[in-house]
Chain A
């Protein structure tokens, strides 16, 4: 079957100049112009490092995007993911014609409208109704189109009562609702959306996701969607590309893309050991994750036990403290907390080592963080290590392996099912 490609990006690259623009700009411009009239290449285009913000490069010029190629079919919802500074927003800016690429081209068969941070162009002095028209026009609608959808837009925004009030009196949530409502009723063939769902309450987010599903599925329009919200990406996108330091590192199925994102990014390199031998007083000296063979590990199979080793120094004054840890999954859900009263275990100050076991076949395949605390309840926090260790439970044949990707909870519980 012939593919209906609506948007095609070919070798898109974008170069930025680092540091202060100002001193040297004129000389670079003159130099560039001098090369240009002699028919030579731009002298500053050749140099350039990849855009890794954590390492210091040698050149003043970086590539925010490098050789991005992709195609989008009509009706597809393309998710674009990647950590901060990976080049997602630059890509969207190029797609929505806000800035031009340094090299490469984008070809499109449809009108592109972008929704980069909603509320763009809202004028605080004007009423909601006036702003609907203004914002709609900025996004490329004609007055007639807006007028025919005005009632729907107002209803969708849920701001009926405020529609004749100046927008500066709106709460930020209301502004976002109104802005999203305008954009949702746009009718471009391709809609570009950046991080809209970060704001607004849960009810509105649900509404917004629903509307976006309608747009893509019901009306057959194409959506490019950038977000850090993996749940939204998962719900909406049929295809995902992942960016890293300006390079496209993954293109394909959404679920695989999200996995790639989770593994390589946010929790990249799970931490299995924490050592602190500088401080003198009470506190954690060494925290580590090991398996039953005492080897340091970051990934555990579903059917393996996890051992947490806690080396902690206790001063005379802290003999009554509580020692505990909290297990949190990648979505920020607290799974459980475990704690002991030191007074019941030790009698004198010193360096102690504890071992804690998280039983096998208990945590569902997921990524987890551990936070450790040593405190006297309601009195003093002696030591606190947030998200200090992290690990992953890998699916090694749990009863739920068929449901991978669905949220079926955080832990397995043997509920002792019986026929009576």
Chain B
């Protein structure tokens, strides 16, 4: 018995039922960085395996959506986008918005979709949602290239496109958005393990959210036309991200420091709550999923 008391200190690790809320083990995540990389690689390459158009599929979706939006919202409904060509306006909004939805929907079924593998092997679960956010970032990069192509196209068409110095902060904006999507996704994925109802909510909730996030209209438009419901957009952190990204890319709309600060606060809060609940769930979700 003496040996035991003496040796108690040098256990490498302990598995216990109690869990510490902030037991995120960064060292462990670092050890599994290769797995993160391989998951990203898997997500990116398996999308276009056995397809004819391959990675082109990444481009088709935003292009067609933008065309549809331009026809419906700008040509039919008559939403004005100022000096900016409507198509470019929509493409910017959709490209950025797509990154958010991809992060959210991709991470929100983490536990359910990976129950099979999670039920058999241990690795830090957070690797999975992280890999979703990163592989979607690559997808976003490809989609952003097409935006640049159209930007140059319209520039030479003689449109008055002015580059804004705030564009330097664009990567930070995208990072904030990815983190918000990740946080929300982790939160939802943890709760989906017990209450399946939520996964139904996500699919149409994301669509509804798009209408509240100033994706296909300038933010001030809703304040003018629907003053009663303007607060719905005003308190939506995503609307600020979309609006700001358009300001950065196309020099249109407004930038609100207050709104951005609010967005940042919400993002940090959502991320930490998401992380907390995710950590709590990962230990025994397999019993309920």
Contacts and interface: CB of A to CB of B under 8 A. Distances in A.
A122 B103 CA distance: 23
A120 B31 CA distance: 20
B46 A125 contact: yes
Contacts of A126: 42, 45-46, 49
Interface string A196-233: 00000000000000000000000000000000000000
A134 B119 contact: no
Given A100-B15, A100-B19, A104-B17, A137 B35 contact: yes
A142 B34 contact: yes
A103 B17 contact: yes
Given A100-B283, A137-B34, A143-B34, A116 B121 contact: yes
Interface string B93-120: 0000000000000000000000011111
A114 B120 contact: yes
21 contacts: A17-B287, A29-B194, A98-B120, A100-B284, A105-B14, A106-B15, A107-B14, A107-B15, A108-B12, A111-B12, A114-B121, A114-B122, A116-B120, A117-B120, A121-B121, A125-B45, A125-B49, A126-B45, A134-B39, A134-B42, A140-B32
Given A94-B15, A120-B117, A120-B120, A138 B3 contact: no
B16 interface: yes
B14 A108 contact: yes
A109 B10 contact: yes
Contacts of A123: 42, 46
A23 to B, nearest CB: 12
B50 interface: yes
A105 B13 CA distance: 10
B286 interface: yes
A101 B122 contact: no
Contacts of B195: 25-26
Contacts of A114: 120-122
Interface in B263-289: 283-284, 286-288
Interface string A111-134: 110101100110101100010011
B42 to A, nearest CB: 6
A96 B121 contact: yes
A35 interface: no
A109 B284 contact: no
A184 B45 CA distance: 27
B169 interface: no
B32 A137 contact: yes
A104 B11 CA distance: 16
A112 B161 CA distance: 58
B122 A133 contact: no
A98 B121 contact: yes
Contacts of B3: 2-3
Nearest to A137: B35
Give me the 8 closest cross-chain CB pairs, A-B, nearest first: A97-B122, A137-B35, A100-B283, A106-B15, A143-B34, A116-B120, A107-B11, A105-B16
A16 B286 CA distance: 11
Nearest to B15: A106
A29 B19 CA distance: 17
Contacts of B39: 134
Given A123-B42, A143-B37, A100 B16 contact: yes
Interface in A133-169: 133-134, 137-143, 166
Nearest to B28: A140
Nearest to B116: A120
Interface string B1-40: 0010001001111111101000000000001101101110
Contact of B117 (A94, A121, A130): A121
A288 B51 CA distance: 67
B33 to A, nearest CB: 8
A133 B287 CA distance: 29
Nearest to A133: B38
A25 B194 contact: yes
Contacts of B32: 137, 140
Interface string A24-58: 01100100000000000000000000000000000
Interface in A280-307: none
A78 to B, nearest CB: 17
Contacts of A2: 3
Contacts of B116: 120
A112 B46 CA distance: 30
Nearest to A97: B122
Q: Which of B12, B195, B288 has the most CB of A within 10 A?
A: B12
B229 interface: no
Given A25-B194, A143-B34, A138 B15 contact: no
Nearest to A138: B121
A166 B288 CA distance: 33
A120 B287 contact: no
A109 B42 CA distance: 33
Contacts of A139: 121
A106 B119 contact: no
Contacts of A102: 17
A99 interface: yes
Contacts of B10: 109
Q: Which of B35, B118, B123, B284 has the most CB of A within 10 A?
A: B35
A137 B38 contact: yes
A22 to B, nearest CB: 8
A93 interface: yes
Contact of B17 (A3, A17, A100): A100
Given A104-B17, A120-B120, A98 B286 contact: yes
